[in-house]
Amino acid sequence: MSKPDGPSIKDVLSGKMDKSDIAVKEQHEIYLNNHLNENFTEELFAEKWNLFLSKLESPNQKTTLSPAPEFNPDYRFILRVENTVQEEIIRTIKPELVAFLRKELKNSSIEVIAEIREKEGIKFIYSDDEKYQEMAKKNPDLILLRQKFKLDFGD
């Protein structure tokens, strides 16, 4: 019988998980603890972020969290993701991540927010007219050729 990927129900109910993870009860206490307010540098933040990243076993989680969020002095870190799947991955790991960062950096104002990055869309060209327009942008002589020979796409 192989070892399950996550913590057992028995461990979670008793408030403990793997030794490398923060216990659920401790996560909750750290999350509610509002009196920590030490300042920290961008370098220290990056170090702790990478430390958390190194403890992850899931390749999906590592890939999703590998681009660290931009450092903000207000301690609200926005992590830009590509899609809703990555957003969901962050949502599931966020309590542990935020508790870890708050504990390690001794600051209870830390917040991690996932936002789906708007990509400059790649427009797919389907119709003949769209194909012609794209080709004419690259080579304006096509316009002259079409006019000279009275070419049409014929609907």
Instruction: Count structural domains, the chain.
Output: 2
Residue 4 placed within a domain: no
Q: Looking at residue 19, what is its pLDDT?
A: 44
Q: Give a yes or no: residue 32 inside a domain.
A: yes
Which region, left, alpha or beta, applies to residue 150 given φ > 0 means left and ψ of -120 to 50 means alpha? Answer: left
pLDDT for the residue numbered 92:
92
> Does residue 105 sit in the same domain as residue 155?
no
* pLDDT of 101: 92
Claim to verify: residue 88 and residue 148 sit in the same structural domain: no
Do 153 and 86 belong together in one domain? no
Q: Are residues 155 and 139 in the same domain?
A: yes
Whether residues 130 and 91 fall in one domain: no
The range of the structural domain enclosing residue 85 comes to 9-116
Q: Is residue 89 part of a domain?
A: yes
Q: With helix as H, strand as E and coil as C, how does 56-107 read?
A: CCCHHHHHHHCCCCCCCCCCEEEEEECCHHHHHHHHHHHHHHHHHHHHHHCE
C-alpha span between 79 and 99 (Å, rounded)? 16
Q: What does the pLDDT profile of the chain (155 residues) look like in tens digits?
A: 444 455 566 665 655 544 445 666 766 666 666 677 889 999 999 999 999 999 999 999 999 999 889 888 889 999 998 888 999 999 999 989 998 999 899 998 899 999 888 766 666 777 888 888 888 888 888 888 888 888 876 65
C-alpha–C-alpha distance, residues 117 and 52, integer Å? 23
60, 32: one domain: yes
Task: Please report whether residue 48 resides in a domain.
Answer: yes
Task: Identify whether residues 127 and 112 lie together within a single domain.
Answer: no
1 within domain boundaries: no
In the structure encoding, which two tokens stand for residue 41, read together?
A: 């540098």
- Are residues 92 and 37 part of one domain? yes
Same domain, 75 and 110: yes
Rounded to two decimals, the pTM is 0.60
